Homo-oligomer: A and B are copies of this chain.
Amino acid sequence: MKYIEKLRNSGLRPTKQRLQICDVLFNTDKTFHFTINELEQKIKKQTNSKISLATVYNTVHAFEKKGYLKQIPINSSETYFDTNVTDHHHFYDLKEEKLIDLENSDVGPINILKKINGKKIKSVEVLVKLEE
């Protein structure tokens, strides 16, 4: 398996569950956005084993902490995650409740002029809401 080293290097034991989740999340050309429940469905479909919901939560949070996933700030009852961890932005289609990537090159350079004393900028994220 190609994810064993990646996990070991992160200090995460390469368990069967984590490898399966890696496979669903990262073994694809395209990156994607998901909620925990959507991921659970995807795991059920693509593998034939069932991973407990607690493990899915634990793993997603562990991967997020290691920088393999990003959480997307959005007002939704469920938290959205992104397998695209490069700096980029999002459209949010209010009707479909779907996220669409907006690459940095699709947004002009963003220059934050205001400074806050003693604080550093960690990230700059643009959310563009779409309606009909």
Copies of this chain present in the complex amount to 2
Cross-interface CB contact of A102 among B71, B112, B130, cutoff 8 Å:
B112
Total count of chain A residues near the partner, CB < 8 A? 38
A120/B107 in contact, CB under 8 A: no
A107/B116 in contact, CB under 8 A: no
Interface of A: prevailing SS: strand
Binary flags per residue of A93-127, CB closer than 8 Å to B gives 1, else 0: 11000001011011111111110101111111111
B94/A116 in contact, CB under 8 A: no
Chain A residues close to B by CB (< 8 Å): 71-75, 79, 91, 93-94, 100, 102-103, 105-114, 116, 118-132
Q: A73-B75, A125-B129 are in contact. List 6 more A-B contacts (CB 8 A).
A: A73-B73, A74-B75, A93-B119, A94-B122, A105-B113, A123-B128
